[in-house]
Structure 1
Amino acid sequence: MKKILPAILIVVAVSSCAKRPDAIAPTAFPAETYANMECSVIDSNLAAERATLTTLSRAQNDAATGDAFSVFVIGVPLASVAGGDKEGLIAVSKGKVQALESAKIRKGC
């Protein structure tokens, strides 16, 4: 039992670390949401969402790096515990980017 508990704690600590942005799957977002928009509006929304995704991805990379370091040093993923994990926001942003790109293709923009 004395050997199992530390192993379980390590697995739990590592599994709760922030993921890298490229490992986060997009949330399904219907392209029809943007079907009634003009191409110029789709383009501006797409540019804004890509900028948001870039900002969130930087923060997520920082959180993942911080978690890896803090788990190594003290055994606790501090960035995730402190709210630095942006996984949900990145998934939504990726879904919006995909939906906007699909709408753009469908409209022939």
Structure 2
Amino acid sequence: MKLIKLAFPCVIALSAACTPRPDSIAPVPMTGAFSSMGCSQAAATLATERQTLAALEADQNRAATADAVGVFFVLVPVSKLTGGDKAGEVGTSKGKVLALEDRLGACG
């Protein structure tokens, strides 16, 4: 019973160290970052950024899955050690997409 009491907090701590899923990553605020950009350029940039975000989210999902498997088998969040965590890049890309969408909304 003591082993279970000791193991549970360790498992919780290791799980918290895992790479987060893309849907739990908040966008980086970029209000007005693209306000001087022309409408057609904003539309093109938005299309490119959406593709970038999709690729980053796929990478982040793979990293989160690898961490879950790593923690389950060897108690180590693998992606945190190998640099597979793209949380910062996902948040930045989400912020760009939102700012570009706001810019296009102002275009009419």
Question: So what's the TM-score if we normalise by structure 2?
Answer: 0.90
Q: Which amino acid aligns with 2:47?
A: A
How many residue pairs end up in the alignment? Answer: 107
Name the % identity.
Answer: 40
Distance 2:19 2:62 in 1: 9
1:83 aligns with: 83
Query: Is there any run of 5+ residues in structure 2 with no aligned partner, and where?
Result: none
> Alpha-carbon deviation of 1:3?
5.6
1:17-42 Cα distance to aligned partner (Å, 9 max, x none)? 11111111111111x22122111100
Query: Is there any run of 5+ residues in structure 1 with no aligned partner, and where?
Result: none
Q: How does 1:7-86 map to 2 (within 5 A)?
A: 7-30=8-31, 32-86=32-86
Distance 2:101 2:81 in 1: 34
Question: So what's the TM-score if we normalise by structure 1?
Answer: 0.89
Distance 2:87 2:36 in 1: 29
Q: Which amino acid aligns with 1:9?
A: C
Instruction: Provide runs of 4+ in structure 1 moved above 2 Å.
Output: 1-9
> Alpha-carbon deviation of 1:107?
1.8
